[in-house]
């Protein structure tokens, strides 16, 4: 549910996610059976949608899965510098370009409803945060875990941004998916 930027910006994705969640709850699918999951910018959407779900009094989902999260549009993490040579996908100039598009026309990139480092992260679902040890976004995940409190960070040494896309062709990607499933299944009552 991540509308295309810059036409839509961040302001539509989170409310749409909350509406889908509300529909699931109305269809008698309890919050204990729902996990929000997102990869890269989708991870920011997962974080941004949860406080919005609190506003109408909805219960939090059972879990949140954040894979290679891009949650700091200001690119403040040190791994943008230290991992610049090992991550051929995300680099500071690209993030600056995308961050300028993310809020949409007239949007404020520091708005806490769009920028997780500036948001109230209390009372969110338990989070599983995964990042590759060689990706520039590693510090985004670290900072999020530090702020959220009830989250764990699983770092895969030597891996780059969204390396799980190599599932079926990479033992590391297959292991990452098994570990993610091993974490979320008990939280959803599927153990």
Residues recognised as catalytic: 40
Q: How far lies 177's CA from each of 65, 171, 183, in Å? A: 11, 10, 10
* DSSP symbol at 60: P
| Residue 26, helix vs strand vs coil | helix
Tokens describing residue 167? 């599932």
Nearest 10 degrees: Cα torsion 123, 128, 129, 130: -170
Sheet with 35-39, strands from edge to edge, namely: 35-39, 63-67, 127-132, 151-156
């Amino acid at each position: 549910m991540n509308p295309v930027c810059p036409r839509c910006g961040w302001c539509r994705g989170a409310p749409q996610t909350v509406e889908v969640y509300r529909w699931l709850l109305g269809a008698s699918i309890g919050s204990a059976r729902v996990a929000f999951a997102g990869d890269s910018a989708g991870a920011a959407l997962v974080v941004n949608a949860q406080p919005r779900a609190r506003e109408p009094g909805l219960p939090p989902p059972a879990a949140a899965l954040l894979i290679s999260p891009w949650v700091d549009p200001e690119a403040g993490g040190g791994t943008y510098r230290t991992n610049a040579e090992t991550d051929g996908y995300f680099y500071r100039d690209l993030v600056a370009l995308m961050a300028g598009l993310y809020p949409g026309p007239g949007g404020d990139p520091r708005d806490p409803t769009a920028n997780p480092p500036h948001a109230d992260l209390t009372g969110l679902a338990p989070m599983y945060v995964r990042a590759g040890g060689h990706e520039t976004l590693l510090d985004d995940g670290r900072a999020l875990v530090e702020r959220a409190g009830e989250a764990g960070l699983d770092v895969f040494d030597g891996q780059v941004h969204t390396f799980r896309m190599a599932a079926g062709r990479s033992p590391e990607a297959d292991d990452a998916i098994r570990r993610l499933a091993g974490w979320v299944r008990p939280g959803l009552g599927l153990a």
